[in-house]
Amino acid sequence: MKKTRFTEAQIMAVLRQMEGGVPAAELCREHGMSSATLYKWRAKYGGMDASLITKMKAMAEENRRLKRMYADVSMQNDLLKEALGKK
């Protein structure tokens, strides 16, 4: 998974500045990021606080882990069906 340069607290600070009326172009120049990144953050994290972002990331990690577990069990099931079908 790609690591971000910015922490949740930094993202929230940038979004608060944007809500405060600072133009997007100025924020992008100041923090060294693209305007697309800023607008993606606003779409994804708008209206959240830092604790909600942390919870969301933890849930995404748990979801990734559960999907991997399901894929492993599904693969084992397919192998067992194939092995029993040959007998």
Residues 39 and 14 sit within 8 Å (Cβ to Cβ) = no
pTM above 0.85? no
> 4 φ, ψ to 5°?
-95, 155
pLDDT per residue as tens digits for the range 36-81: 999 999 998 888 887 888 898 899 999 999 999 999 999 999 999 9
Tokens 């079908």 belong to 85
CA atoms within 13 A on the CB side of 66: 6
